Amino acid sequence: MEESKKKIAAMTAVLYYLRCEEEDARYEILADRHPPQAQEGGFWSFSGRQSQMMLRSMAQMRLFPGWRG
C-alpha cells in the first residue's frame, strides 16, 4: 500500500512537471508573436502617477485633517 502511494506520487509529479514545461513552451511562442509594448515615460512618469494615486487614496481615507474633498 505504502509503495503504491509513493509510485502514484512520483508519477503525478512527473506528469505535473511535463505539463508545466508544455505551458512554458506555449507562453514562449505567444511572447514571440506579440512583442512587448514600448514603455512610455520611464521611471519618473511612473513615480508621478504613483504619488498622485497615493495622494488620492490618502484623501479618500481622510488622513488630512483639513481636507473636505
Q: Is residue 9 part of a domain?
A: yes
The confidence score (pLDDT) of residue 38 equals 61
Quote the domain boundaries for residue 11.
1-33
Q: Is residue 12 part of a domain?
A: yes
Q: Is residue 54 part of a domain?
A: no
Q: Is residue 46 part of a domain?
A: no
Q: Is residue 6 part of a domain?
A: yes
Query: Which parts of the chain have pLDDT scores under 50?
Result: none
**Number of domains the chain is built from:** 1
In contact, 65 and 55? CB cutoff 8 Å: no
Taking the C-alpha atoms of residue 62 and residue 57, their distance in angstroms, rounded to an integer, is 9
For the chain, what percent of residues have pLDDT higher than 70? 78
Q: Is residue 61 part of a domain?
A: no
* pTM of the predicted protein model: 0.41
For the chain, give the longest Cα–Cα distance.
71
Q: Is residue 3 part of a domain?
A: yes
